[in-house]
């Protein structure tokens, strides 16, 4: 049982903010982008620097309190209940080395800030569909980028990191120093420590062709059939994806699309207008697009490719990796999510994988799912009156996809973690076993046990 004196000891040891439930600043400090998730830790520490993270972890270990970490709350799929929550959003260090083509960021930096600093040098990082997401949480979860088929997962391109492990030690790790831990951190999520800074590769980009085409939902059968035929014609550099969107009548949705069922094709390609137009031509001839925004794009507008919401929302999600996307799989999916299905989900997304995502990096890491051909990702609003229907629909679609799935998912697209067997779905069995063994040595007290945490192998 924590008493005031315990909390004062922590406050005295750090330069950041310390708050307990009902004290000033607690609600703001624990707030998550996913507003359906309301964290109730015993104490929240708004770390001002890496030393605060060290002090917080040591303090929590002394008081036998579990530790969780949050940057933006985009990945807040489950609420933190009790323990110490360390927030990292004040860790805003950001350095770009245009010669070495690398970036170094503090744990609170979002992808938008990286791009704003790197794009003027003709360089980009491997961010995902929304640049409002935190670099560190995204990358530790593998990080499936907008240009993933061209370059691979973000975790494949991490050069080094600084991490506070459960023993309260701040370590600098890379492929040469503590290589095993480094490999497991690159894709293993927050299981082995709290990262305070991350260094990773940037990529040169001359031309960028991107955007989307929106079709009436009534044409979903034809559009998805055309999408399947079109995919094998694309080079690896092209990264398309497609979504069935049931857009709510809410402010974040552009007015013509509010309260509509539509199909949204997204397209990202490092090339010029001529090349992009030629690749996209077959999909432009399908149906009658309601909107077509694809073309040469200033890379700082890259969020327009996926058009993810920018304001905090209540949501629930789930995902699975597919071996293939055959006719039968599409038909089964449309039965549950197509026109007239009554599907309550705001987004049913299919992201083709392959290309550099399948190849991986020369060094081992913990990214799984390289054998999959597609990621199916489902998002529903987690707010009355649709919350229960959203959860039921995600479950029904995941069940219907079992015959087509690899049985696994990517941790960044897993949704709320369930029991141990469910958590294990986020990694391949070989990686999961490596992680379990490492968890037992790096976090024997299971200090880091929130979210997508795994359980270590019990000691003999």
Which of residues 28 and 229 has its CB atom nearest to ligand FAD in the complex?
28
Total chain residues near ligand FAD (CB under 6 A): 30
Q: Which of 14, 115, 136, 173 binds ligand FAD (CB under 6 A)?
A: 136
> Are the beta carbons of 166 and 147 closer than 8 angstroms?
no
Q: Which of 30, 70, 102, 316 binds ligand FAD (CB under 6 A)?
A: 70
Evaluate the CA torsion angle 364, 359, 211, 322 in order and state its sign: negative
Q: Is 243 in the site for ligand FAD (CB under 6 A)?
A: no
The 3-state DSSP class for residue 90 equals: coil
For residues 100 and 257, give the distance between their C-alpha atoms in angstroms, rounded to a whole number: 43
Residue 403 Cβ, how far from ligand FAD at the closest point, in Å? 25
Which three-class secondary structure string do you get for 293-310?
A: CCEECCHHHCHHHHCCCC
* First and final C-alpha spacing in the chain: 30
Helix residue spans in 231-312 (DSSP H): 273-284, 303-306
Q: Which of 106, 143, 187, 276 binds ligand FAD (CB under 6 A)?
A: 143
- Element at 395 (helix H, strand E): helix 387-400
> Are the beta carbons of 427 and 442 closer than 8 angstroms?
no
Q: Is 141 in the site for ligand FAD (CB under 6 A)?
A: yes
- List Cβ neighbours of 331 (8 Å cut-off, separation of 6 or more): none
User: ∠ at Cα 120 (119, 122), nearest 5°?
Assistant: 60
Between residue 182 and residue 221, which ones bind ligand FAD under the rule CB under 6 A?
Answer: 189-190, 194-195
Q: Is 224 in the site for ligand FAD (CB under 6 A)?
A: no
Q: Is 75 in the site for ligand FAD (CB under 6 A)?
A: yes
Which of residues 286 and 321 has its CB atom nearest to ligand FAD in the complex?
321
String marking each residue 388-417 x if it binds ligand FAD according to CB under 6 A: ------------------------x-----
String marking each residue 326-365 x if it binds ligand FAD according to CB under 6 A: ----------------------------------------
Footprint on this chain of ligand FAD (rule: CB under 6 A): 69-76, 88, 107, 128-130, 133-134, 136-138, 140-144, 189-190, 194-195, 308, 412, 451
């Amino acid at each position: 049982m924590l008493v005031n004196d315990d909390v004062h000891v922590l406050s005295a040891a750090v330069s950041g903010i310390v708050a307990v439930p009902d004290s000033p600043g607690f609600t703001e400090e624990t707030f998550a982008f996913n507003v359906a998730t309301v964290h109730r830790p015993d104490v929240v520490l708004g770390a001002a620097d890496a030393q605060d993270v060290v002090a917080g972890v040591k303090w929590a270990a002394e008081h036998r309190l579990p530790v969780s970490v949050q940057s933006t709350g985009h990945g807040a799929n489950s609420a933190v209940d009790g323990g110490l929550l360390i927030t990292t959003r004040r860790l805003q260090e950001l350095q770009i080395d245009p010669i070495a083509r690398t970036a170094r960021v503090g744990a609170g930096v979002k992808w938008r800030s990286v791009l704003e600093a790197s794009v003027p040098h003709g360089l980009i990082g491997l961010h995902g569909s929304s640049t409002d997401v935190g670099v560190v949480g995204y990358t530790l979860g593998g990080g499936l980028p907008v240009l993933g088929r061209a370059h691979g997962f973000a975790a494949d391109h991490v050069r080094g990191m600084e991490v506070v492990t459960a023993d309260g030690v701040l370590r600098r790790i890379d492929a040469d120093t503590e290589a095993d831990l480094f490999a497991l951190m690159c894709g293993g999520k927050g299981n082995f420590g709290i990262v305070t800074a991350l260094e990773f590769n940037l990529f040169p980009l001359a031309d960028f062709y991107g955007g989307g085409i929106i079709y009436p939902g009534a044409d979903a059968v034809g559009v998805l059939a055309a999408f399947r035929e079109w995919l094998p014609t694309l080079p690896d550099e092209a990264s398309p994806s497609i979504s069935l969107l049931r857009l709510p009548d809410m402010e974040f949705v552009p007015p013509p699309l509010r309260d509509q069922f539509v199909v949204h094709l997204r397209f990202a390609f490092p090339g010029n207008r001529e090349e992009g137009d030629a690749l996209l031509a077959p999909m432009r001839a399908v149906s009658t697009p309601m909107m077509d925004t694809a073309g040469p794009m200033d890379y700082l507008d890259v969020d327009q490719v996926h058009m993810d919401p920018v304001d905090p929302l209540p949501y629930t999600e789930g995902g699975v990796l597919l071996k293939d996307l055959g006719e039968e799989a599409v038909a089964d999916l449309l039965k549950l999510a197509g026109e007239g299905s009554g599907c309550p989900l705001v987004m049913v997304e299919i992201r083709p994988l392959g290309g550099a995502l399948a190849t991986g990096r020369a060094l081992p890491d913990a990214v799984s799912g390289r054998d999959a051909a597609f990621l199916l990702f489902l998002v529903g609003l987690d707010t009355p009156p649709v919350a229960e229907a959203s959860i039921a629909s995600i479950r029904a679609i995941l069940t219907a996809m079992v015959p087509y799935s690899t049985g696994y998912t990517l941790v960044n697209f897993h949704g709320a973690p369930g029991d141990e067997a469910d958590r294990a779905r986020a990694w391949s069995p070989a990686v999961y076993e490596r992680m379990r063994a490492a968890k037992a040595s790096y976090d024997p007290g299971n200090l880091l046990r929130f979210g997508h945490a795994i359980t270590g192998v019990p000691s003999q």
